[in-house]
Structure 1
Amino acid sequence: MAELQGQRILLGVSGGIAAYKAAELVRRLQDAGAEVRVVMTASALHFVGATTFQALSGHPVRSSLWDEAAEAAMGHIELARWATRVLIAPASANTLARLAQGRANDLLSTLCLATEAPLTVAPAMNRVMWAHPATQTNVATLVARGVEVLGPATGDQACGEVGAGRLLEPAQIVAAVIAGAPPPRLAGRRLLVSAGPTFEDIDPVRFIGNRSSGKMGFAVAAAARAMGAQVTLVAGPVSLPTPPGVRRIDVRRAAQMRDAVLAELPGHDIYLGAAAVADYTPAETLPQKIKKSGETLAITLVRTADILAEVAAHPQRPRLVVGFAAETQDMEAYARDKLHRKGLDLIAANDVGRAGQGFECDDNALSVFWRDGRHDIAHGPKSRVARDLLSLVAERLEALR
C-alpha cells in the first residue's frame, strides 16, 4: 500500500488521553507511503513522550518555538514549507479554539498560520465539551475556511461517559487522508535521470574524473519516484544505494553514458541531466600501466559527445530537457548561454565554489533558468532541493498542455 507515496505529513499532537493513538497513526501513515514529522503541544507531552514519536517517525520531534538550535534557521517556517498536509490528531477543544481565532502562541498554531498546505483536524474531547456552542462555533469557522474535520466518533469515553467526542481510529483517519490526497504530481510520467561523474581511463590504473558524488542526481531520482514518476537512473561510478522503485543502469565512461541515455530515451517525458560528464577523454586508453620516465607527461585529450545537446536535438526528444550547470563564476551568464546553445528547456545552475553546497556536499542551492524566467531554490538538503526542482519541472510540463 503506497497511496500516500510522496506525501509529507506534519502530524500535530495536542493534549488529551487520545494522544496515545497518534503513535499508531504515525505508523499507519508511513505504511501508506507518507513521510511523517511530529509536532507536539506542551499538554500532549504530559500524555505521551516525544521519544516515542521520534523513534516511530525517524525524525526529531518539535514542541517549542523557543528551540534555539532549530529556530536559528527559522525552523518553523522550514517545517511549514515542508508539509504537503498538516494533520492534527487528536485536536483538543483548546487547539480548535486557537486555530479558529488565528492564534500563534505555540509552535503548532504558528505552523498552521505559516503553512500553505491543507489542514485536517481530528477532534477528541469529552462529549459535553464537543457539544458546547463555543466548540461548535469554532468548528464551523474552521470548516468555512476550508479545514477538513474528521469525526469525532461516538462511543465510550475515558471519562466514563458515552457520546460524541472519541478520536476516530487511526485506520479511519488514514483512509480519510488517502481519500483527500491529490494524485502524485508526476503520476504517469516517465523520467530519465543521469547522475554522478564519468571516469575516463588513461591506463588500467589511472583515470581522469571529477568531484561529483552523484548525490544531487540520486536525490532527484528518489524525489521523482516519490512524486509518482517511473524513473530510470543512468549512474556514473558512485557508491550510493539505488533509490527504492528506481531502475538503475551503471556506466563508467562518457561514451557509455551517452549510449545508455540515448538507448533509454524513447518514451520518456522528461530528461534531467544531472551528471557531471567529462568534456574530454584520453585519445587512447593504454593497455598497460604508464611507467614514470620523465619530468613531464603529455596526454592527448579529445572532446566527448555532448549528451545534453544530442538529447535536445533527438527525433524522440522528451517534452522537457533539463540540464545542470556547475559554475564557479558568472553563473547566470554561463547557464543561460548553455541553455540557448544546447536547446534546453530548463537549466539548474549552482555555484560549486561556495562552501557548503555542490560537489560532495549533502546540501545545495539552485537557480533555475528558462528562456524568459528564473526561479531560485534556497539552500538546503539536496532531498528538499530536488523536490522543489521537480515541482517546478512539473509546473513547466503542465504548462505545455
Structure 2
Amino acid sequence: MLQGKKIILGICGSIAAYKAAFLVRLLVKEGAEVQVVMTEAAQDFITPLTLATLSKRPVLSTFTADKGQGQWNNHVELGLWADLMLIAPASANTLAKFAQGICNDLLTAIYLSARCPVVLAPAMDLDMYAHPSTQANLQKLRIYGNIILEAEEGELASGLSGQGRMAEPENIVTNLKQHFQQALALEGKKVLLTAGPTQEAIDPVRYISNASSGKMGYALARSLLAQGAEVILISGPSHETIAHHHLTLIQVKSAQDMYEAAHEHFTNCDIAIFAAAVSDYTPKIKYSKKIKKKEEELQVELTKTIDIARTLSTQKSEKQFTVGFALETHDEEANAYKKIREKNFNMIVLNSLNDQGAGFGYDTNKVKVILANNQEPKSFPLKSKQEVARDIVKLITENYHG
C-alpha cells in the first residue's frame, strides 16, 4: 500500500529521533519515496548523513541548501509533492508551533503549506505529554484535521515509566498502510457534492441567504478525494478553498444555479451528497436596479425554490447512493426520519443547533447518522469537521454497494 507513495518525514528534537533510521528503512522497504526534513534540534540526536543514506535523498533542514549558490528548498512545492506528511518524533515544541501557526523553520513552513494528510507521532516525557497545554495543542491539531498516533506507554529516557514514547516504527508503518488502504475505497467512483449557502437576489446589491460557511461540505470533499474519489463540488459562495487533480469545482450563487449544475452531473455520479444549505425561498421579483430607500416598510414577496435533494434523489437509479443533511432546532430525529423517507435518501446526517459547537460557522460538528436500511442510528461526539467528514465518508463506503 506504500509502493510509490511520496512521504515527507519530519524529525524533531527528541531522543526518539534515533528511531527515525528504522522508520525510514521500513518505509523505503515498502516502496515509499521518503523525503526527510529535520529541525535543527533533531540533528543533535541523529545525523543527516545516516538518514540521507537510508532514504537515498538529501536531507533538508533549511530554506537554502547552499548559501550563496541560490539553491532554494521550496516549502510550497514540497507540500504539494507529498501524498502524506509524517512527523515522527513530534516534540512538544513543534506540536505547539503547528497548533499556533508559528512558521520559523522549513518544517513548519512545509506543514502550513501541505495539502496532504498529516500524521503526528508525539514523543516526550510523560508529564510533558500529560500537561494541559500539550493536550490542548493535540486537540487543536485534531480539529485542524491532523491524524494523531497516540504516544505509547513504557520506559522513557528520563528513567520514568508512562505514556510518552513515540509509537514504534512498525506500528507507524502499519497505520500508514491502513490509511492508504482506506484511501482506495472510492477509487474510480464519481461523487456529486453540494456545499455552502445559496444567495437569492433581491436587487443587484441585496440577497437572502443563511449562515452556512461551506466548511462541512469542503471537509467532505477533502475526505472523498483522500479516498480516491472523483469529486464534482458544486459550491455556493464560500471562503473555503480546495484544489485537487480529481476535483471539478463549480461555483454558483442561487438555488436555481445549483440545481441546474447538479442536474447536469447527477445521472453520471455513483454517489450524491447534498450538504449545501439551499435557500427554501427566493424573491418573486428580482429588481434590476438597486431599490432606493423610500417607504417605512418594504414588502418582498417570496416563492419556493426547487428542492434539489428531493428532486434528484427521487430520480436516482438502483446503483446510485444519496446522502442528505438535516439541520434541525426541534424534533430532530423525527424530522430526519421524515426527510430520509420523503427524499429517498440512503443516508442522512443530522445536526442539531441545540448542540454547542455544532452547525454553521464552527470548525467542529456533532452529528448523528441515520441509514435507510433500519440500522441503529450512529451518534458521534463533537469533533473537528474534518474528522466528522472522515466518519461520514467511512459510513458511505461501508454502505454503498453500487
TM bucket, shorter chain = 0.5 to 0.7
**Alignment match, 1:34:** 84
**Alignment match, 2:252:** 251
**Alignment match, 1:288:** 289
**Alignment match, 1:206:** 206
Matched residue type, 1:203? D
Aligned-partner Cα distance in 1 for 2:80–2:131:
26
State how 1:2-401 maps to structure 2 within 5 Å: 4=5, 14-16=16-18, 18=46, 20=48, 21=51, 24=59, 31-40=81-90, 54=108, 56-58=110-112, 62-64=122-124, 65-71=129-135, 83=147, 105-108=162-165, 119-120=171-172, 181-182=180-181, 184-245=184-245, 246-316=247-317, 319-371=320-372, 372=374, 373-397=376-400, 400=401
Matched residue type, 2:260? D
> 1:83-128, CA deviations, whole angstroms, 9 ceiling, x for partnerless residues?
5989x9xxxxxx99979xxx9723236x67xxxx98256xxxxxxx
Does the CA-based 8 Å contact 2:121-2:149 persist in structure 1?
Answer: no
TM normalised by structure 2 equals 0.67
Matched residue type, 1:295? E
Aligned-partner Cα distance in 1 for 2:254–2:79:
42
Does the CA-based 8 Å contact 1:212-1:360 persist in structure 2?
Answer: yes
Aligned-partner Cα distance in 2 for 1:335–1:199:
25
> 1:141-175, CA deviations, whole angstroms, 9 ceiling, x for partnerless residues?
xxxxxx79xxxxxxxxxxxxxxxxxxxxxxxxxxx
3-state DSSP of counterpart to 2:83: coil
Aligned-partner Cα distance in 1 for 2:300–2:335:
28
Structure 1 residues 344 and 104, CA, compared in 2 at 3 Å: closer, same or farther?
farther
3-state DSSP of counterpart to 2:203: coil
Aligned-partner Cα distance in 2 for 1:222–1:311:
23
Deviation at 1:195, TM superposition (A): 0.6
Aligned-partner Cα distance in 2 for 1:198–1:379:
26
Deviation at 1:333, TM superposition (A): 1.8
Does the CA-based 8 Å contact 1:40-1:108 persist in structure 2?
Answer: no
Structure 1 residues 226 and 281, CA, compared in 2 at 3 Å: closer, same or farther?
same
Does the CA-based 8 Å contact 2:153-2:165 persist in structure 1?
Answer: no
Aligned-partner Cα distance in 1 for 2:217–2:397:
17
- The structure that has the greater radius of gyration is 1
Aligned-partner Cα distance in 2 for 1:317–1:393:
16
How many residues are aligned here? 322
Matched residue type, 1:380? K
* Structure 1: tracts of 5 or more residues without a match: 43-49, 89-94, 122-146, 149-176
Deviation at 1:297, TM superposition (A): 2.1
Structure 1 residues 221 and 40, CA, compared in 2 at 3 Å: closer, same or farther?
closer
Aligned-partner Cα distance in 1 for 2:9–2:359:
28
3-state DSSP of counterpart to 2:381: strand
Aligned-partner Cα distance in 2 for 1:191–1:333:
28
Aligned-partner Cα distance in 2 for 1:200–1:316:
31
Structure 1 residues 10 and 339, CA, compared in 2 at 3 Å: closer, same or farther?
farther
Does the CA-based 8 Å contact 1:267-1:318 persist in structure 2?
Answer: no
Give percent identity, aligned residues only. Answer: 28
3-state DSSP of counterpart to 2:223: helix
Structure 1 residues 318 and 233, CA, compared in 2 at 3 Å: closer, same or farther?
farther
* Structure 2: tracts of 5 or more residues without a match: 19-44, 53-57, 62-74, 93-103, 113-117
> 1:18-51, CA deviations, whole angstroms, 9 ceiling, x for partnerless residues?
4753995999998440142433589xxxxxxx97
> 1:355-395, CA deviations, whole angstroms, 9 ceiling, x for partnerless residues?
43321222212111113231123322212211121111111
